[in-house]
Amino acid sequence: MKNIVILFVSILAVTTLTILSCNKKVTGVTDNLPALNPQNADLNAGSWKTILLSRPDTFAVPAPVSVIAAEYIAELNEIKGYQKNLTGDQADKINYWAAGGVLRWNEIMRGLVAKYNLPPYQNADGTYPIPSSSNPFAYPLFPFANPPYAARAYAYISAAQYDALVACWFYKTMYNRPQPSKVDPSVQLKVNPTNLPSYPSEAAVLAGVSAEMMKLLFPDEIANIQSKLEEQENSTIMSGAATRSDITAGEALGRSIAEVFIARGKADNAGKAVGTPTDWANLVTTCEARGETPWISLESPSRPPMLPLFGNVIPFLFSQATVATLRPAAPPSTSSDLMKQETAEVYGYIKNPTAENIRIVQYWADGVGTYTPPGHWDAIASLDFIQKNYSEVRWARNMALLNMSLMDAGIVCWNTKYYYYNPRPTQLNTAIKTLTGIPNFPSYISGHSTFSGAAATILGYIIPEKASTYTAMANEASMSRLVGGIHYRIDCSTGLTVGNNVGAYAILRAKSDGADQ
Amino acid sequence: MKNIRILHTYAVLFLCTFFFFNTLSAQTDQDAIMMAKNNFCTGLTYDHSSWKDYWEGTFKRNNANLGTVSTNSFSVMGNYGISENLNLLVGLPYMETKASAGTLHGMTGLQDLSLWLKWMPIEKKLGKGVIALYTIGGVSIPASNYTADFLPMSIGLGSKTASGRVLVDYQLGHFFVTGGYTYTWRSDITISRTAYYTTELILSNKVDMPDMDALTLRSGYRSGRLIAEAVIINMKTLGGFDIRKNDMPFPSNTMNATTIAANFKYNIAKVDGLSIIGGANTVIAGRNIGQSAGFDTGVFYILDFSPKSKKK
């Protein structure tokens, strides 16, 4: 007995010490990245194919003053003044932004999506309020950044950043202004050296275009975003990478180019995606007219379907008419034996879920309060892009390809969901419980699968050596919805295929945009 | 204070005060009673609790997508008297959760194994009564790889914990009052996903779990045969964040609760060493937890491992 007592006391002591010593502050995986150090500055990027801009010089950038002008000398003195009294916090901010502006703005976006990805709480009468962009500060806050909204937001920001950086590179090589530290060696360079000209500043272009886009996408966050913009611009000056005039010209260019994307966004049908009660009722009658059991909301009180007209949003990678051609054939009839088998298979998985299946479901859930499946793929891509040390413009190009794929996958997926209006497994068998929250829209095809199929396809083109890894991840993401009780197998397998087909359009674009030639 | 006291319940307060759990009545590691030397008390308890209303931050609501969330737990425990003033306690619950409405899947499994060492350094006469001081240290470790990040259905929070507790007990005749303070350190947990939102987006699968503390006051009747007590527990999370409106709960939420409970323990006269326990409890105020109410019951038996058989 004495030995047991000693053993217990020892366990007690060791465990206590372990817990006390292990309890350290959590750090994010990208908190302490080294400064971006591109292998290739992509000096020819000014000739890469833009997405919405017809020409890289659609918006004029005035010629910079000479590096021997008094105004420029004063700007160098501003940098030196900062560098003389740099605080620890300022140094941290320099390091934070030096890891890459496209990366950091994508992370900021993911944070905003997670913050705004909350379904509105019901009214006292059991109806639901709808967030309004004309009154964004009232509850429910605008937007409800659900997966389609998020996919579109990521795509617009990424595409606008890409066009803006192509224009930026165009002017950089046109004006060829050297970096401040090359003009005046007493300016310290606190980021990695580059042969990229400094005018206009790519950091400020990113700040300007991103901040301007956010006005449309996250109107409650304008003040917050403005402070991020200033932080990035000031950090860039303090780092010695750019002068005040590099920044000013860059921000103006970025904001101008954003306007082109904002104009598109206001007319891309997303504003009408919520639909009207008449639209919602039509979905049911159309489905019933085909002799099928229509989807019903499994939320209580019953919630109107999520963005039923999102399938009409204008895609980036193909025409709107192409959407219907990418829509897959109908699922088995809700009354068919095949559908009964599909439902039974889901129940088989969910009856006694394995620990591994629970883990997979949680890993890929990306539900309420998260950055959504498109954000998850951005996170996956970011970690791999960091390893590649891309230039900012190539980062932007690759993120744009990925996020346009994700948005267009969302469009085709939503178009399909509301075309067939197929019920969830739980609707056909209420014994099917789910390992994560059940989304409030029809089943066929799986959004996770479509997003993941598209993402894996374009990422496999961008980083060929990881293509099979991406495919495996997409398969796992897709299957997580089956074993989690959220989807039938046919939703998942068809979703992956549709996603792959969407991703193929992104590859077509990538092969001809000038970046890989 | 030599009355042999039976152990009831697992290492409650900190190990099981989750979003959905009640803060339990609980004795043993919480009470001012020691097992006699070389006595080993073992038993089984059953706890049931449920809630319909819960707090998102300070906003109290119910949720038709959950209905009533209930928890059943079956625990085994043991309490060994190393000496008259040093006890070693162990407990392990098996749990199951269930929501009466909506689609969320219930969870089952072994929760956290807990070990406690209870020491009574001081026991002396004070006035007409007896005052005693207890210091209690405990740890808990998840006993299975249950998922913590599926609240409110998760069976636990996944943290390893270490707790320090001080109790002061005063007994006058059959009347007693016990006050206690507990501080619990909690280890980071690792969740399945690689990012989560608190008040900002954290790009990590590690979650910093804020520490907790609790004040308890219990009072009532205590004799060798019967104990009947009323308890109030005020549990606080020292940090964390609130659940946002209509968001899902998260393991590192600020989970606070004020719980009241009534418990009894009765020693069956006919069978030496056999006792039964029971209690009821309810949360009267809270933050980021369910307003649970529940009951518990159990049976215990004492084995005497004294070298020279029974002396009392």
Q: What is the ipTM of this complex?
A: 0.94
Question: Are residues B105 and A485, on separate chains, in Cβ contact within 8 Å?
Answer: yes
Q: Do B244 and A118 touch (CB under 8 A)?
A: yes
A70-266 fold: Vanadium-containing Chloroperoxidase; domain 2 (1.10.606)
**Residue of chain B whose alpha carbon sits nearest to that of A111:** B201
Q: What is the mean pLDDT of residues A317-326?
A: 98
What pLDDT was estimated at residue B23?
A: 33
Spatial separation of the C-alpha atoms in residues A195 and A209, rounded to whole Å: 24
Q: Inform me whether the pLDDT recorded for A514 exceeds 60.
A: yes
Q: What are the two backbone dihedrals, phi and then psi, of residue B296, each rounded to the nearest 5 degrees? A: -145, 155
- Mean pLDDT calculated for residue range A66-81: 97
Asked if the Cβ–Cβ distance from B117 to A20 is below 8 Å, we say no
Say yes or no: do domains A70-266 and A274-512 share a fold.
Answer: yes
Question: Does B307 contact chain A (CB < 8 Å)?
Answer: no
**What does the buried/exposed string (b/e) look like for B42-67 if buried means 16 or more CB atoms within 10 Å of the residue's CB?**
bbebebebbbbebbbeeeeeebebbb
Distance CA A148, CA A308 (A): 10
| A198-257 residues touching B, CB cutoff 8 A | none
| pTM (predicted TM-score) | 0.94
Nearest Cα of chain B lies from the Cα of A203 at a distance, in angstroms, of 22
**A337-351 vs A467-483: helix crossing angle, rounded to 10:** 90
pLDDT value for B181:
96
Asked if the Cβ–Cβ distance from A368 to B248 is below 8 Å, we say yes
Q: Return the closest-CA partner of residue A133 out of A123, A122, A125, A144.
A: A144
Q: Residues A330-348: pLDDT tens digits?
A: 999 999 999 999 999 999 9
In this complex, which of B104, B162, B193 lies closest to A16 when CB atoms are compared?
Answer: B162
Element (H, E) at A183: helix A180-183
Establish, for the pair of chains A and B, how many residue pairs have beta carbons separated by less than 8 Å: 155
Q: What is the pLDDT of residue A245?
A: 98
Q: Yes or no: say if A443 and A330 are a contact pair by the CB < 8 Å rule.
A: no
Is A110 close to B192, i.e. CB distance below 8 A? no
pLDDT at A422: 98
For chain A, what are the domain ranges?
70-266, 274-512
Q: Is the pLDDT of residue A374 over 70?
A: yes
> B188 and A12: CB-CB below 8 Å?
no
Does A16 sit within 8 Å of B64, measured CB to CB?
no
* pLDDT mean for each 10 residues of chain B (312 residues): 30 33 45 84 95 97 97 94 93 96 97 94 94 95 96 96 95 96 96 97 97 96 94 96 96 97 93 93 96 95 77 42
> At the fourth CATH level, which superfamily is domain B12-304?
monomeric porin ompg (2.40.160.40)
The answer, for B110 touching chain A at a CB cutoff of 8 Å, is no
Best residue of B39, B103, B186, B207 to probe chain A, by most A CBs closer than 10 Å: B103
Contact B251, B288 (CB under 8 A): no
Q: Does B244 touch chain A (CB under 8 A)?
A: yes
pLDDT digits (tens, 9 = 90+) for B183-206: 999 999 999 999 999 999 999 999
pLDDT, tens only, A103-118: 999 999 999 999 999 9
Instruction: Report yes or no: B83 at the A interface, CB cutoff 8 Å.
Output: no
Supply the DSSP symbol for B243: P
> Which sign, positive or negative, has the C-alpha torsion B24, B206, A145, A430?
negative
| Overall average pLDDT of the A214-242 stretch | 96
Fold annotation for A274-512:
Vanadium-containing Chloroperoxidase; domain 2 (1.10.606)
Search chain B and give the residue with CA nearest A424.
Answer: B103
Q: Does B194 touch chain A (CB under 8 A)?
A: yes
Compare CB distances from B65 to A29, A139, A300 and report the shortest one's residue: A300
**Cβ-proximal residues to A408 (8 Å cutoff; 6+ apart), any chain:** A155, A315, A316, A317, A318, A454, A502, A505
In angstroms, what CA-CA distances link A347 with B101, B173, B256?
18, 61, 37
Report the pLDDT value the prediction gives residue B307, as an integer from 0 to 100: 76
Q: What is the mean pLDDT of chain A?
A: 96
Compute the distance between CA of residue A206 and CA of residue A105 in angstroms, rounded to an integer: 8
